[in-house]
Amino acid sequence: MQNNQTSKMKRRDFVKKTGFAAGGLMMAPSILSAKAYAEGDDTIKVGLIGCGGRGTGAALQAMSVKESVKLVAMADAFQDRLESSYKRLQAEMPNYEIDTTRMDVPAEHRFHGFDGYKQVIDLCDVVLIATPPGFRPDHFEAAIKAGKHVFMEKPLAVDGPGVRKVLETAELAKKKKLNVVVGLQRHYQKKYQKWVDLLHEGVIGDITSSRVYWNSGGVWVRPRKPGQTEMEYQMQNWYYFNWLCGDHINEQHIHNLDVGNWVKQAYPVRASGMGGRQVRTGPEHGEIFDHHTVEYEYADGSFMHSQCRHIKGCPTMVTEAFQGTNGTAPEPGVILTRSGHNILDYNDRKDPNPYQYEHDLLFEAIAKGDYKYEDAENGAKATLTAIMGRMATYSGQVIEWDAALNSDLSLMPEKLAWDANPKVMPLEDGTYPIAVPGETKVL
């Protein structure tokens, strides 16, 4: 596989690519024709895979677009979460001013279990994938092979084999001219677009260092219930297990790491760092760290300095900043010369919500029969950036990009079933094995 560190990537390469001839479309028969969409003869059928909070939100955003759409199928591993999402959608649609006819998901189109995603894909034209990250490579592959357009939440995988599968599927999506939008929504945020465009134009010269942060107090914990199998418990607490989440450096900090790559128009060649568990140390916190600090090195010798932390009582900081040879970009939307003169101070109060805007653009392209969005490749490489950071902090070693990408170490269970065991199981005291820098092998 080609090493992409030396390639330069403009913003449009991250967000979308245009100019493909309509005659080159290779749509599966299940996809309605562009003419039918344009004339309004048919409704774009939407299916939701993963009915947690983010999936429910994505469904509301998809149903809020101006095009003729209808949510026709839903799936989740857990039946109670599926039905809860269905009821929440019914309750929230009036608040979003969504016509209630835009949701038509009868009981026979609501699927639960590990294979429910397959039935959803069969019933729709556009698939919304909001399952835990470990499942996304398989779900994405199934959707693209079936000829469906995709909105997919980030990150896109949890290990090297998963990233490679996404990259392979991204190439298939390009061949089939299927639109893929990934929920790295800063690419669809006007403030970031203007900011990054000016940095690419060189208004502060060459970018010599980058600082990216996701420091916060952490997320939910769901207590173990009597009678739960280990698979059920880990699935309910997916954030704390790497086969499902990839650690919070992957699940959340990917946003900031992605911005760093976007500004540099490159991906890092290696990473080193430190991390651990200082505060979140109980069995309810699974196997992930509560803090990571990583230095990423790019091919031009510059560094991206990365912090992510889940510790309550500490300052929250979720942002990015860049130093150039002729000035600074100290926060999103702000650019200063070396002497402190203001080049940009962007006010985004009137800008569209980027979470909604990415859906607006995706469905507009589908309705017009256009092929404009191919986010999966960058989404996979942003994911790999986060994964190699986790590899570095867990092992204490310097991790090369190619080694992380080509790693054969799969975190996924051999079998997906409620009575099957994940690869990481609790110890006798109920805690889970934790990575130890200098000892843990990650490649």
Type of residue numbered 257: L
Q: Fold for domain 11-187+354-375?
A: Rossmann fold (3.40.50)
Looking up tokens 């101070």 gives: 345
Instruction: Residue 179: name the closest of 116, 125, 136, 134 by CA.
Output: 125
pLDDT for position 213 = 98
Give the side-chain half-sphere CA count within 13 A for 327: 19
Supply 213's token pair.
């942060």
The pLDDT assigned to 394 comes to 98
Q: Bigger pLDDT: 20 or 286?
A: 286
What token pair was written down for 203?
């208004």
What are all long-range contacts of 1-5, with beta carbons under 8 Å and residues at least 24 apart? 1/164, 1/167, 1/405, 1/406, 3/401, 3/402, 4/267, 4/381, 5/266, 5/267, 5/268, 5/269, 5/298, 5/299, 5/401
Distance CA 158, CA 67 (A): 34
User: What number is the average pLDDT over the span 239-249?
Assistant: 98
Pairing of strands 291-297, 303-310: antiparallel
**DSSP-H helix ranges across 110-206:** 116-123, 136-145, 160-176, 190-200
Backbone angles phi, psi at 96, to 5 degrees: -90, 5
Please state the rounded mean pLDDT for residues 426-435: 97
Prediction pTM value: 0.91
Answer for the pair 371, 179: CB distance below 8 angstroms, yes or no. Answer: yes
Classify residue 155 by its DSSP letter.
Answer: P
Element (H, E) at 357: helix 354-368
- Around 372, how many Cα atoms within 13 Å sit in the side-chain half-sphere? 13
pLDDT digits (tens, 9 = 90+) for 393-420: 999 999 999 999 999 999 999 999 999 9
Structural domain boundaries in the chain: 11-187+354-375, 202-347+384-405
Across the beta sheet with 270-276, the strand order is 342-345, 334-337, 327-331, 317-324, 207-216, 303-310, 291-297, 270-276, 399-400
Dist. CA 89–CA 99, nearest whole Å: 12
Q: Which residues contact 415 (CB under 8 A, 6 or more apart)?
A: none
Residue 418 CA to residue 79 CA, distance in Å, equals: 13
d(CA 329, CA 52) in angstroms, rounded, equals 36
pLDDT, one tens digit per residue, over 137-153 is 999 999 999 999 999 99
| Bond preceding residue 161 cis, omega within 30 of 0 | no
Q: What is the mean pLDDT of residues 363-368?
A: 98
73-107 pLDDT, tens digit per residue, is 999 999 999 999 999 999 999 999 999 999 999 99
Q: Given pLDDT bands bounded at 50, 70 and 90, which one contains residue 25?
A: very low
- How confident is the model at residue 230, as a pLDDT? 98
pLDDT at 287 over 70: yes
- Residues 299 and 201: their CA atoms lie apart, in Å, by 20
What pLDDT is attached to residue 365? Answer: 98
DSSP run (H or E) holding 61: helix 53-63
Q: Kindly give, in sequence order, each residue whose CB lies less than 8 Å from that of residue 188, ignoring residues fewer than 6 positions away.
A: 15, 354, 357, 358, 361
Task: Dig out the tokens for 294 from the structure.
Answer: 């990583």
pLDDT, tens only, 206-237: 999 999 999 999 999 999 999 999 999 999 99
Q: What is the tens place of the pLDDT at every residue in 172-213?
A: 999 999 999 999 999 999 999 999 999 999 999 999 999 999
Q: CA 283 from chain center: how many Å?
A: 27
Q: In a 3-state reduction of DSSP, which class is residue 199?
A: helix
Predicted pLDDT at 42? 86
Give 68-120 as a DSSP string: -EEEEEEEESSHHHHHHHHHHHHHHTTTTT--GGGB---GGGEEESTTHHHHH
Domain 202-347+384-405 has CATH 3.30.360.10: yes
Cβ atoms of 417 and 384 within 8 Å: the answer is no
**Three-state secondary-structure class, residue 417:** coil
Q: Say whether pLDDT at 22 is over 90.
A: no
φ/ψ of residue 368, rounded to 5? -85, -5
Quick one: average pLDDT of 322-329? Answer: 98
